Structure 1
Amino acid sequence: MNRRGFLAVAGAAVSGGLLAAPAVRAQGAWPTGKPIRVIIPWPPGAANDTLGRLLAQRLGEKLGATAVAENRTGGAGLVGTNAVLQAAPDGYTLLASAFNTAVMPLVLKGATFDPQRDLEVMARTAKAPLVMVSSGQRPEKTLPEIIAAAKQKPRDWNIAISSLGSAGHLATIEFLRRTGLDLDMVTYRGTQPALTDLMGGSVQLLIDPCFALLPARGDGKVNAVGIATAQRSQLAPDVPTMGEGGLPGYEFQSWYGVWAPKGTPAEICGKVNALMQDTMRDPVIVERLTKQVLEPVTESIEDSRRFIASEITRATELLRSVNYQPE
């Protein structure tokens, strides 16, 4: 499905809009009529944006709050993240972001915060497996063919990165480490420009979430090489795993979540967590997100903290193994 279709589904998922939120009387001291800002540090149209707007809409519905989704882009997500870090820990400024938030300080010089020390985890909301795609202009279609060709003529191959610190960035580093390939990495400001150049043949490979890449296969300009899951995914059963292509254990996903400034009351964090768990169990939401190759996540705050800590540990070890220097 193209971006227009994705946005249509997203709009349906949050039908009713923020301005039409029911006037439900909230319980307790939060909210008190002050608007809740959901900061999305990425442009409109991406999964972060869809999930952030869904959060804002549900806050309005369930809490009787005025909730506004606000895109604050720039700096590979750092601009919007800093806006939340600098906000009061009162529940009126939330961050709807992704994997990048957890690893940003590992890859960006300007990111001086510690995500575990300076942010409160409220919930993980969804996840999406990564997939490697290649330019349809290349004759090689399978992973073994691509690795062999790239080893023979590495200067003929560039690999795109949609954003510094993205799950695809880390997956690309691991791919190059595992294969021993020395390919130029070309960094973009988002998946769409990277995908555009891939289809045009300016770059030859890209690893990013399925929902962003698989819909582009229809016209033959993009070839799906492998999915970074242990078994073939029901979301794309025709795409072999990277393990089938010769990289056993190569598993990566992008995931999405909600954070707040450190010190935000536990009661508020718990309310947001319960609200998002309820949302991600809604059959209508599940169906619509699944169609977009997004898998809803329902877990406690503690489970989210443990998962994110494990992701930070994994990323730290990977970056250290290749002597990666923040950019």
Structure 2
Amino acid sequence: MNRRKVLATAAAGGLGLLATPAVHAQDAWPRGRPIRVICPWPPGAANDALARLLAQRLQEKLGATAVVENRTGGAGLIGTNAVLQAAPDGYTLLASAFNTAVMPLVLRGATFDPQRDLEVMARTAQAPLVMVISGQRPQRTLAEVVAAAREKPREWSFAISSLGSAGHLATIEFRRRTGVEIDMVTYRGTQPALTDLMGGNAHLLIDPSFALLPATGDGRVRALGIATAQRSALAPDVPTMAEAGLPDYRFQSWYGVWAPKGTPAEINQRVNALMQETMREPAMVDRLKSQVLEPVTESIEETRRFIAAEITRATELLRSVNYQPE
């Protein structure tokens, strides 16, 4: 596998203490060349919004020229491969989500190891998952849905926004926990899945709260439960999945920044510090909260441990249902 192009982020401070030509090149780092922030998802999604926020902060705080490239397709694999094949020089970043960590577990064509082949720079935000039902269905509670689906499973379908998404794994866990054999239909993003749900062509969807809760206002979809320990202040009328009948059912999507393996540690740390600073700003906290997103401030080591735990959980879940990569 080719080694990659790296990220737009670091330079500064202690780099100048090391007097080698390579270090001087890093010291000049974001100057003179544009930084590509590759988002493997379409414009308009949370991934895209956070990618543009990263690019904006690289420009504001580091004086860099940063450009977002939406390299979509393959359930995120096309954009991820572009970063995997880039040089580890700080000028190519990946702004993606939960999918990046579990992609090799669900996609036959994903042959990389996210912990071995990418440098994680930061987690930036997270969002709980919500389960919604088409407004054209009469059921009002999770218990009613489970009872109806057990009786006539072929009259139900689960929309999946993307293979390897947090909602995909949450749906697999829902099926495992309840024993319902509802078909899963994969879409190319949340919006087309939600559109089919509103039209009654699909019936259930589990996806991030920021995408689904705003859609519940006109009755075309209804929220059945949120996959958190406590009810959300932004949706106090939506029961937790535990209250709805599934104890300890907790899932969230999360978003982060990666670089090609071999990107200098100084650059990785600089990006991490930049995003932690951004996610602590009161105005940013309020902005994300209004979109049902929670900012994350973690060190690189903390993020590595978090991702390792997420991969372990996903591996065990997929193994328990004998899932075969598609």
**Same fold per TM (> 0.5)?**
yes
Residue 158 of structure 2 is matched in structure 1 by 159
SS at match of 1:195: helix
How far has the Cα of 1:291 moved from its partner?
Answer: 0.5
Question: Structure 1 stretches (4+) deviating beyond 6 angstroms?
Answer: none
1:93 aligns with 2:92: yes
Where does 1:11-160 land on structure 2 (aligned, <5 Å)?
28-160=27-159
SS at match of 1:306: helix
Distance 1:132 1:29 in 2: 48
How far has the Cα of 1:35 moved from its partner?
Answer: 0.7
Distance 2:36 2:154 in 1: 46
Residue 269 of structure 1 is matched in structure 2 by 268
8 Å CA contact 1:232–1:241 kept in 2: the answer is: yes
- The TM-score with structure 2 as length reference comes to 0.92
Residue 288 of structure 2 is matched in structure 1 by 289
How far has the Cα of 1:42 moved from its partner?
Answer: 0.2
Distance 1:229 1:72 in 2: 32
Distance 1:302 1:71 in 2: 28
Distance 2:134 2:230 in 1: 24
How far has the Cα of 1:26 moved from its partner?
Answer: 6.5
8 Å CA contact 1:135–1:199 kept in 2: the answer is: yes
Q: C-alpha offsets along residues 261-305 of structure 1, whole Å, 9 cap, x if unaligned?
A: 000000000000000000001111111111000100001000000
SS at match of 2:231: coil
SS at match of 1:121: strand
Q: C-alpha offsets along residues 198-252 of structure 1, whole Å, 9 cap, x if unaligned?
A: 0111111000000000111111110100000111112311100110111100000
8 Å CA contact 1:52–1:69 kept in 2: the answer is: yes
Residue 179 of structure 1 is matched in structure 2 by 178
Residue 238 of structure 2 is matched in structure 1 by 239
1:220 maps to a residue whose letter is G
- The TM-score with structure 1 as length reference comes to 0.91
Residue 207 of structure 1 is matched in structure 2 by 206
8 Å CA contact 1:26–1:64 kept in 2: the answer is: no
SS at match of 2:126: strand
SS at match of 1:206: strand
Q: C-alpha offsets along residues 54-88 of structure 1, whole Å, 9 cap, x if unaligned?
A: 00010011111111111110100000000000000
Q: CA RMSD in A?
A: 1.0
* Structure 1, 112-121 or 226-235: larger mean CA deviation: 226-235
Gap runs ≥5 in structure 2: 1-10, 14-26
Q: C-alpha offsets along residues 150-181 of structure 1, whole Å, 9 cap, x if unaligned?
A: 11111111011000000000000000000000
8 Å CA contact 2:39–2:51 kept in 1: the answer is: yes
Distance 1:232 1:289 in 2: 18
2:115 maps to a residue whose letter is Q
Distance 1:221 1:178 in 2: 27
SS at match of 2:68: strand
Gap runs ≥5 in structure 1: 1-24
Distance 2:131 2:83 in 1: 33
Distance 1:98 1:67 in 2: 20
Distance 1:108 1:194 in 2: 20
How far has the Cα of 1:53 moved from its partner?
Answer: 0.3
8 Å CA contact 1:26–1:63 kept in 2: the answer is: no
SS at match of 1:70: strand
8 Å CA contact 2:31–2:63 kept in 1: the answer is: no
Distance 2:137 2:66 in 1: 47
* Structure 1, 102-111 or 283-292: larger mean CA deviation: 283-292
SS at match of 1:219: coil
Aligned length: 303
1:155 maps to a residue whose letter is R
